């Protein structure tokens, strides 16, 4: 079986930490420029470092995010390897465009889908229950981004499938 990791940006690798006043899961959040214009996002360095390592394994990653072409700056700004992104289909669909894309992936592919919005979409959560044997979904709290526990799950999932 093939493997694929789909990953979002906002609320996942870029937590909305500046809008959060509660306890932090990563104590050393820092702003980091994410494009040549110097626009900054808050990141947890441990998350970026671990993801960067996992993105260099044999398991393919694909950006599934509204950031689209902006992800092309991440190799220079975050140290991630370059990989493709999914374009929004451009037309209205009956459901969430990201769900439409994930559902279009052949059934011979195991998927790790990392998206903060997945847990909030009723149709998505219902569908995920029916495909739990091949689709693992990590849906971080938007204010924390990927938590230490979620990062450990991502690490274990990718490592178990890497050649």
Q: Provide mean pLDDT across the span 24-45.
A: 91
Nearest to 134 by CA among 100, 161, 152, 97: 161
Angle at 129 between CA 128 and CA 134, to 5 degrees: 65
Residue where the block lists tokens 């820092």 = 30
Whole-number average pLDDT of the chain: 93
Instruction: Report DSSP letters for 69-118, one per residue.
Output: GGGGGHHHHH-PPP--BPPP-SS--SS-HHHHHHHHS-TTEEEEEE-TTG
CA dihedral 152→158→55→40, nearest 10 degrees, is -30
Per-residue confidence (pLDDT) for residue 48, from 0 to 100? 97
Residue where the block lists tokens 């450990």 = 152
Nearest to 6 by CA among 132, 126, 138, 122: 138
Per-residue confidence (pLDDT) for residue 110, from 0 to 100? 98
Residue 62: pLDDT band by 50, 70, 90 thresholds?
very high
pLDDT at 91 over 90: no
Residue 88: pLDDT band by 50, 70, 90 thresholds?
confident
Q: Provide mean pLDDT across the span 29-56.
A: 94
pTM for the model stands at 0.94
Q: What confidence tens digit (pLDDT) does each residue in 139-155 have?
A: 999 999 999 999 999 99
The first and second tokens of residue 114, run together, are: 């990392």
Burial class (CB in 10 A: 0-12, 13-18, 19+), 118: buried
Per-residue confidence (pLDDT) for residue 92, from 0 to 100? 61
Q: Which domains does the chain have, with CATH numbers?
A: 2-161 (3.40.50)
């Amino acid at each position: 079986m093939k493997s694929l990791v789909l990953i979002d940006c906002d609320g996942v690798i870029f937590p909305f930490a500046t809008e959060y006043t509660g306890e932090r899961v990563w104590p050393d959040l820092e702003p980091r420029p994410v494009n040549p214009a110097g626009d900054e996002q808050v990141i947890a360095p441990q998350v970026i470092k671990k993801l960067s390592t996992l993105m260099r394994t044999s398991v393919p990653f694909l950006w599934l995010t509204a950031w689209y072409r902006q992800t092309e700056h991440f190799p220079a700004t975050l140290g991630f390897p370059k990989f493709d992104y999914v374009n929004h289909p451009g037309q209205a669909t009956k459901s969430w465009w990201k769900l439409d894309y994930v559902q279009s992936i052949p059934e011979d592919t195991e998927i790790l889908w990392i998206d903060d919005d997945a847990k909030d979409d009723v149709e998505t959560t219902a569908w995920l229950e029916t495909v739990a044997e091949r689709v693992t979904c990590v849906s971080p709290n938007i204010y924390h981004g990927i938590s230490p526990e979620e990062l450990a799950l991502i690490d274990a999932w990718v490592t178990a499938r890497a050649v």
